[in-house]
Amino acid sequence: MFEQIVPGLVGEREMKVAVENTAKHLGSGNVSVLATPEMVRLMEGAAVRAVDHLLPDGYRTVGIRVDVRHLAATPLGMTVRAQAKLLAVDGRKLTFQVEAFDEREKIGEGIHERMIIDVTKFKQRVEAKRTGA
């Protein structure tokens, strides 16, 4: 069912650092540089771009693990590019190498895992949890 999901797939996302992406704005620090949670969001988005479009209707991926290092600060106005490369497929679990770069240097790296889910079943479990059923 997921035969198109194979190691080597790559996805990318890009963003320009704006005030709403800074550590100061998000409360994850007191400086106006790219916040670590925003770098992680970009990395996750790159992983989604690598695989979700290849899944059958009704299936998507959700993040289950993030292990990254934020290596360097990126100031307001600079463009950041994240890349996710699929390293391994273990049933429905996907493992990605993720990296992020600004216009000058590598700013982040790590591992990100995602799980392939059946969206309908996932929503049913979430609703059951919400209602206590």
Condensed to tens digits (0 to 9), the pLDDT of residues 22-52 reads 999 999 989 999 999 999 999 999 999 999 9
pLDDT of residue 70: 98
Q: Is residue 49 part of a domain?
A: yes
Q: Is residue 2 part of a domain?
A: no
Task: Give the confidence band of 8 by pLDDT, cuts at 50, 70, 90.
Answer: very high
Number of domains in the chain: 1
pLDDT of residue 85: 98
- Containing structural domain, residue 116: 10-131
Query: Residue 18's domain is classified under what CATH number?
Result: 3.10.129.10
Q: Is residue 22 part of a domain?
A: yes
Q: Count the Cβ atoms, other than its own, within 10 Å of residue 89.
A: 16
Q: Is residue 3 part of a domain?
A: no
Most distant CA atoms of the chain, gap in Å: 52
Residue found under tokens 């770098």? 39
